[in-house]
């Protein structure tokens, strides 16, 4: 299912962000198309499975990670982290489950071609639909090569 421009998934992303962090994810008047196509920041989301898979990656995320949408969506999200960093990443995800969100996260990630880069000042939050957890999302606008 393509969630790229889906208004219901946009409502889950933005509503969960507002409830968890008390702030808007997108500027007033922005919609699902804007977030996917034009947002100047990365937004990724994965499902709530035992080995979570990406279900959403806006164009900024695709450019950052070097994957097309069809390659990134469905990819186990653990593969976006350097293998040596996966335990740290799991601690982060567990903390988000416990606390609902985290701010200021910094972590080493891997792009499609093997390029390693640091994400800076990331926000990660728990996604919910009608009070039921459906995964997690992350946003960041700063990254640099490792």
Give the H or E element holding residue 88.
helix 86-99
Nearest to 129 by CA among 55, 43, 33: 55
Per the CB < 8 A criterion, the answer to whether 63 and 36 are in contact is no
Rounded to whole angstroms, the Cα distance separating 92 from 39 reads: 25
Count, residues in the chain: 146
pLDDT tens digits for range 105-117: 999 999 999 999 9
What's the whole-number average pLDDT of the chain? 96
pLDDT band at 8; cut points 50, 70, 90:
very high
Chain segment 32-52, per-residue pLDDT in tens: 999 999 999 999 999 999 999
The Cα–Cα gap between 100 and 59 comes to 25
* Rg, C-alpha atoms of the chain: 14
């Amino acid at each position: 299912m393509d969630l790229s421009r889906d208004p219901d998934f946009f409502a889950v992303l933005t509503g969960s962000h507002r409830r968890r962090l008390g702030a808007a994810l997108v500027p007033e008047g922005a919609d699902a198309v804007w977030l996917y196509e034009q947002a100047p920041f990365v937004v990724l989301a994965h499902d709530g499975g035992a080995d979570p898979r990406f279900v959403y990656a806006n164009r900024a995320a695709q450019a950052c990670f070097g994957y097309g949408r069809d390659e990134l969506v469905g990819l186990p999200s653990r593969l976006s982290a350097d293998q040596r960093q996966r335990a740290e990443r799991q601690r982060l995800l567990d903390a988000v489950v416990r606390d609902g969100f985290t701010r200021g996260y910094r972590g080493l990630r891997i792009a499609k071609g093997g390029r390693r880069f640091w994400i800076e000042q990331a926000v990660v939050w728990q996604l919910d639909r009608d009070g039921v957890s459906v995964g997690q999302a992350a946003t960041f606008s700063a990254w640099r090569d490792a």
